[in-house]
């Protein structure tokens, strides 16, 4: 029997999002949330029956909020909102991102502050479970009022419009619903706004990216361990008493992990045995990797909060009032994603420097130049370092903070925006780029260990992991293309939880 994850609007985790995205679990609304959604809807209908003017319910949107809408046009207003806001452009977001958006939007609505009807929310859940995936262009969101363009493309399918993918085939949204045995909804007051006003594009990308970033951070720690063995690194720099005098928890976390993974190694050295000090890319692994983990934990905390938050407008409060505010503004996620961009970029930056030390004959402690089997007639892994250098340079451009750039919209009514979705898209690209750089470091360390015939000297942990690396790229016996091997190992690093388990 397939696992069911119940949405309650308060306890969803990034790991659960990934389970649902991958089809390892279905999603349902918990009983308490069903009650809250119904109460929220009743409050909206009561306010309308009493003749209250409510932003976005019986008024226009944004700069048009002072225009009151006749009761007979309220349903058309909600439908027009979806149609007018579906202005996204560019390549469609990957299916896994769209699924994450759908899950997070449903979870936000499950909190019972948005005034949506139960049947509308249920259709969203049914689309998740049956694999009806709206086609959502990747560009067009400024991150306030939330992710309007992406979420509008998503919501159009619920009313039988837009485009969707079903069973691997692109089709009209209404056709996709029919083939899945579902029926489109007819939106009523507040529902269009409840579906499109929120931060679920940036947060959905953020949740998936955090899962990948965790794996890449651990891969960076493992790659560093392998490089330390390849280069006969000095372990005094990881002494717990030394690290304790600068008590950043993440610094000590990395130092402890490196010590654990190198335990039993006969390849690493002590201060003065081979040299007095290592270069910074080896000696400062706890300090640099630890600082990047700080960015990860900060972003994780912010995304966890946002996944279980109400981010639309206006908000239907429990006292019956409907209040307009700014919860749709993506700044908390924008800043978190920008911080994570920098942190992950640094994992890649220092990884490339360790790769350089292994291939450079002036720095690699007697290893063959560029780790070639027959230097001169062969170039070995010389150009792999070029690839790593190219990627880390690209990351430096992507790491520029998008959140510091704001362009006013809606006739200057929305005069400060977050650009958080751009930040989220960029950090995912940086994480994928970092995976390639770290894969290159692992392949270089593997080759260095092979050429030095040092496999038997490795720690039990690193030797076991080296065998996994070599499943993707065996030791090079002669020059050969390695791009496919790098890419395959990078994809494994992004998807595998082997190191997550090992790090526990």
Written as six digits, the tokens of 268 are 């690493």
Q: Which residues contact 192 (CB under 8 A, 6 or more apart)?
A: 77, 78, 79, 80, 81, 82, 155
Does the annotation mark 386 as catalytic? Answer: no
Q: In Å, what is the CA distance from 162 to each residue of 133, 145, 154, 198?
A: 11, 21, 8, 19
The CA distance from 56 to 433, in Å, is: 41
Total residue count of the chain as it appears in this document: 504
The CA distance from 60 to 16, in Å, is: 37
* Phi then psi dihedrals of residue 4, to 5 deg: -115, 130
Residue 453, sorted as left (phi over 0), alpha (psi -120 to 50) or beta, turns out to be: left
CB neighbour burial string for 28-40, b if at least 16 within 10 angstroms, e if fewer: bbbeebbebbeeb
Q: Which residues contact 334 (CB under 8 A, 6 or more apart)?
A: 143, 202, 402, 403, 418, 419, 420, 423
Q: What is the dihedral of CA 176, 178, 181, 186, to 10 degrees?
A: 100
Please name the helix (run of DSSP H) or strand (run of DSSP E) that holds residue 212, with its range, or none: helix 200-230
Cα 40 from chain centre: 31
Q: What angle do CA 370, 373, 376 make, to 5 degrees?
A: 65
The catalytic site residues sit at: 55
């Amino acid at each position: 029997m397939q696992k069911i994850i119940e949405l309650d609007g308060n306890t969803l985790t990034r790991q659960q999002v990934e389970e649902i995205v991958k089809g390892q679990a279905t999603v349902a609304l918990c009983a308490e949330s069903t009650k809250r959604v119904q109460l929220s809807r009743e409050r909206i209908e009561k306010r309308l029956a009493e003749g209250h003017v409510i932003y976005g319910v019986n008024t226009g949107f944004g700069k048009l909020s002072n225009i009151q809408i006749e009761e007979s046009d309220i349903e058309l207003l909600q439908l027009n909102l979806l149609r007018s806001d579906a202005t996204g452009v560019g390549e469609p977001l990957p299916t896994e991102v769209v699924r994450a958006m759908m899950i997070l939007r449903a979870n936000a609505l499950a909190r019972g502050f948005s005034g949506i009807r139960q049947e509308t929310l249920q259709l969203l859940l049914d689309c998740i479970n049956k694999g009806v995936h709206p086609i959502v262009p990747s560009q067009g969101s400024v991150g306030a009022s939330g992710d309007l363009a992406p979420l509008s493309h998503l919501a159009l399918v619920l009313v039988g419009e837009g485009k969707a993918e079903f069973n691997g085939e692109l089709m009209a949204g209404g056709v996709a619903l029919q083939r899945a045995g579902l029926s489109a909804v007819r939106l009523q007051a507040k529902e269009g706004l409840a579906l499109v006003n929120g931060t679920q594009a940036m947060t959905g990308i953020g949740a998936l990216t955090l899962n990948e970033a965790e794996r890449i951070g651990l891969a960076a720690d493992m790659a560093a361990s392998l490089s330390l063995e390849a280069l006969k690194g000095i372990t005094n720099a990881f002494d717990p008493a030394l690290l304790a005098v600068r008590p950043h928890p993440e610094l000590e976390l990395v130092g402890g992990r490196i010590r654990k993974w190198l335990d039993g190694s006969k390849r690493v050295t002590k201060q003065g045995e081979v040299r007095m000090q290592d270069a910074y890319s080896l000696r400062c692994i706890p300090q640099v990797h630890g600082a990047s983990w700080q960015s990860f934990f900060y972003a994780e905390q912010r995304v966890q909060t946002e996944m279980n938050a109400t981010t639309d407008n206006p908000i239907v409060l429990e006292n019956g009032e409907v209040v307009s505010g700014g919860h749709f503004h993506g700044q908390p996620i924008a800043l978190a994603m920008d911080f994570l961009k920098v942190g992950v970029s640094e994992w890649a930056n220092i990884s490339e420097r360790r790769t350089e030390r292994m291939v450079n004959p002036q720095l690699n402690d007697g290893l063959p130049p560029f780790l070639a089997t027959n230097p001169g007639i062969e170039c070995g892994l010389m150009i792999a370092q070029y690839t790593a250098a190219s990627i880390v340079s690209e990351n430096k451009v992507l790491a520029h903070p998008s959140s510091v750039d704001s362009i006013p919209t809606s006739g200057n009514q929305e005069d400060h925006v977050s650009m958080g979705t751009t930040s989220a898209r960029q950090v995912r690209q940086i994480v994928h780029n970092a995976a390639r750089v770290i894969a290159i470091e692992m392949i270089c360390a593997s080759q260095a260990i092979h050429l030095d015939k040092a496999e038997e000297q490795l720690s039990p942990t690193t030797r076991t992991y080296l065998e996994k690396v070599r499943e993707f790229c065996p030791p090079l016996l002669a020059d050969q293309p390695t791009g496919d091997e790098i890419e395959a190992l990078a994809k494994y690093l992004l998807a595998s939880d082997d190191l997550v388990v090992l790090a526990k």
